[in-house]
Amino acid sequence: SAGAAHQRLAGLLGGCDQIRTPALEALRPSLSDRERQIATLAAAGVTSRAIAERLFLSTRTVENHLQRVYSKLGITGRAELPAALRSFTGHDGTESA
């Protein structure tokens, strides 16, 4: 499953220095700042309603952002989000530049 693959990738990346090549960077999905912000909160277990209140958005807008994140990361829901974000981000939890 995609979740298992993302967990394996996160583990492999955690065991070595970040590998950055032009080809790998071209394959990396791109999240907008807002998508990254919402995905990080959702991965931490914050509900869509609480995210919406915190960011002054509607719950529906938060859900729409999450659906785009899931599509970009090749996952199907919140349960897979933490591992997918770990494989997408650097060792310190920030997106690599």
The enclosing domain of 72 has a CATH number of: 3.40.50.2300
31 belongs to a structural domain: yes
Residue 26 has a pLDDT of 58
54 belongs to a structural domain: yes
77 belongs to a structural domain: yes
Q: How many domains does the chain have?
A: 1
pLDDT tens figures, 14-50: 555 556 666 555 556 788 999 999 999 999 999 999 9
Average pLDDT of the segment spanning 61-84: 92
95 belongs to a structural domain: no
- The range of the structural domain enclosing residue 27 comes to 2-88
Residue pair 40/5 in contact (Cβ under 8 Å)? The answer is: no
Whether the predicted pLDDT of 93 surpasses 50: no
Angle between helices 59-73 and 48-55 (to 10 degrees): 110
Mean pLDDT, the chain, rounded, equals 80
96 belongs to a structural domain: no
93 belongs to a structural domain: no
